[in-house]
Amino acid sequence: MLIEPQFRTKFADAVWGTMERLSRMAAFESALASAQAKVGLIPRSAAKTITQICNGPLPKASNVYEEAIVAGNPAIPFLKILTVSVNAKDSGATAYVHFGSTSQDLIDSAHMMALTKIADALDASLQQVASELRRLTTTHAETPMVSRTLLQQATPITFGLKAGLWGTAITQARQQLKVARINDMAVQLGGSNGALSAMAPHGPKVRADVAAQLGLADPGYCWHTLRSRVLTISAVLAVVVGVTAKIAGDCLLMMQTEVGEVQESFPGESSAMPHKKNPVHALVPVAALPLVATHLATLAGSQMHAHERAPGSWHTEWITLPVLTCLTLASVERVKEMISGLKINIPQMRANLALTRGTLAAEELVTTLAAGIARDEAHNLVDDLLKQSQNNNFSETVRSNSKVSELLTKEKIAEILGYKQTLTAAAREAQRLAKTINDV
């Protein structure tokens, strides 16, 4: 239990479980034999045997990963077991198991198959997050709250705008995931040295066929030691976790006792303090992000694969991708839970907005006054008003100032102090963003 269940999902456990791992290796060998038979590289009967064996259960296969300790990789014991089974059925077919291929073809392609399955699962979960966020964006398009820059209250927005930007980020992440799914999750087939000599001149055709059978992209060349696609895919996973952490992080700040704007639907208890309502779901992406980020660095730093197969850099990927994807899946899952049950405290949002008693109108007041007097003068006037009010009752101070009354009508002053312009603009932007959030 190197990763506690809190940071995993059942789906992640299954994808990286021995059974699915073996089943992906079998699917690769089956696809390879089938593709090779089609172009006449191996006999159809041998391909049929191999394919049949690969589609059934392999006896003793559960030891493959233990045997990799001495073999150096799991492909070698897997192929031994597969060959034994093939031999039992048709000894003539053994010569065509894994024909012209190499361990790396098998292991890389199997990893890519896992990634496509994960990408599809992530997309499905993110679609649900997007849907919830679209709903929140529309529902709260006009719910006023304060924006915060450098953790200081800035100017008024609406909660819909905040949710709309979260949703936009999810939509973007899904788009990037789709591109990576289509372009970068590719079959690896190069044989022992990248030239596919044993399959010549059918190599490229076999590669394309295997790719199609396994639902992978056909890269058009052997990428055994050109690993940019592993980095590109992982960067997208880091984007996904980044978005979930951004949303969870904002919520954690809004959940603070002194802020109190949102709460999880079933907050956690404390082992000691009965009054505590602890965030639970929100913790997961926030905890995962730093680890996902450094897993990305691991893969980026391990791009320098030596010659035609790297001792070390390649193996680093094997121990990086499972944890990286597991944390991504868990982050999305938990943000989905958090968002779908999020309790929103509208009165508290209003109360926080009112906390500085009109002070947040200072920027717009300067801008508006500067249409009539010099900007410097306007800025100094507002500064004086801020000082007079001691951040305590700015609205009142503004209203009773004769200079301001001279320059602006009562209605205009009321509009500014009521944050009309910015709330209207935020609501409009929220509605516009809602339309762009893809929830299908």
Query: Which residues within the stretch 250-279 sit at the binding site for a copy of itself (CB under 8 A)?
Result: 250, 252-253, 255-259, 266, 268-279
Q: Which residue among the candidates 135, 148, 309, 428 is catalytic per the annotation?
A: 309
Candidates 410, 420, 416, 350; CA nearest to 382 is: 416
- Give SS3 for 168: helix
Q: Find where tokens 């895919």 sit.
A: 233
**Judged by CB under 8 A, does residue 7 bind a copy of itself?**
yes
144 binds a copy of itself (CB under 8 A): no
Q: Which of 33, 47, 238, 408 binds a copy of itself (CB under 8 A)?
A: 238
What are phi and psi for residue 202, nearest 5 degrees? -90, 0
CB of 213 to a copy of itself, least distance (A): 20
From residue 377 to residue 406, the character string flagging contacts with a copy of itself as x (rule: CB under 8 A) and all else as - is -xx--xx--x----x--x------------
Residue 129 sits in the site that holds a copy of itself (CB under 8 A): no
Provide the minimum distance between the beta carbon of 156 and a copy of itself in the complex, in angstroms, as a whole number: 7
Applying CB under 8 A, which of residues 56, 57, 59, 220 lies at the interface with a copy of itself?
Answer: 220
Residue with tokens 């940019």: 228
Q: For residue 110, give the nearest of 99, 121, 118, 122 by alpha carbon.
A: 118
Q: How far is the CB of 210 from a copy of itself (least distance, A)?
A: 16
C-alpha distances out from residue 39 to 19, 32, 200, 222, Å: 31, 11, 11, 20
User: Is position 148 annotated as part of the catalytic site?
Assistant: no
Tell me the angle at which helices 18-38 and 203-214 cross, rounded to the nearest 10 degrees. Answer: 140
Residue 22 within binding range of a copy of itself, rule CB under 8 A: no
29 binds a copy of itself (CB under 8 A): no
Is residue 211 involved in binding a copy of itself (CB under 8 A)? no
Among 172, 393, 401, 431, binds a copy of itself (CB under 8 A): 172
**Stretches 48-56, 128-136, 195-203, 404-412: which one binds a copy of itself (CB under 8 A)?**
195-203
Choose which of 134, 181, 227, 336 interacts with a copy of itself (CB under 8 A).
227
Q: ω before 347 within 30° of 0 (cis)?
A: no
Tokens read off for 379: 């800025």
Q: Which of 228, 270, 400, 405 is catalytic?
A: 270
Please report whether residue 54 would count as binding a copy of itself according to CB under 8 A.
no
Cβ atoms of residues 269 and 287 within 8 Å: no
Tell me if 72 contacts a copy of itself by CB under 8 A: yes
Interaction of residue 108 with a copy of itself, rule CB under 8 A? no
Please report whether residue 23 would count as binding a copy of itself according to CB under 8 A: no
Count Cβ neighbours within 10 Å for each residue of 367-381 and write b for 16 or more, e otherwise. Answer: ebbbeeeeeeebbeb
Q: Which of 135, 205, 309, 399 binds a copy of itself (CB under 8 A)?
A: 309
The CA R_g of the chain, rounded to the nearest whole Å, is 30
Q: Burial, 266: exposed, middle or buried (Cβ in 10 Å; 0-12, 13-18, 19+)?
A: exposed
Query: Alpha-carbon distance 389 to 284, whole Å?
Result: 43
> Nearest approach, Cβ of 319 to a copy of itself (angstroms)?
5
Choosing from 290, 346, 400, 403, the residue that interacts with a copy of itself (CB under 8 A) is 290
Closest distance to a copy of itself from the beta carbon of 48 (Å) = 17
Tokens at 194, concatenated: 């990248």
Q: How far is the CB of 167 from a copy of itself (least distance, A)?
A: 10
> Which residues, 6 or more positions from 353, have their beta carbon under 8 angstroms from its beta carbon?
144, 145, 146, 156, 360, 419
Tokens linked to 109: 């392609």
For residue 90, what is the DSSP state? -
168 binds a copy of itself (CB under 8 A): yes
Q: Cβ of residue 237: shortest distance to a copy of itself, in angstroms?
A: 10
Smallest gap from Cβ 195 to a copy of itself, in A, equals: 4
Which CB, 68 or 344, lies closer to a copy of itself? 68
Q: Does 128 bind a copy of itself (CB under 8 A)?
A: no
Show contacts with a copy of itself in window 316-355 (CB under 8 A): 316, 318-320, 322-323, 326-327, 352, 355
309 is catalytic: yes
Please tell me whether residue 56 binds a copy of itself under the rule CB under 8 A: no
Residue found by looking up tokens 């980095």 in the block: 231
Where in 411-440 is the site for a copy of itself (CB under 8 A)? 421-422, 424-426, 428-429, 433, 436
Cβ within 8 Å of residue 129, ≥6 positions away: 170, 244, 332, 335, 336, 339
Please name which of 201, 218, 270 lies closest in space to residue 112, comparing C-alpha atoms.
218
Residues classed as catalytic:
270, 309
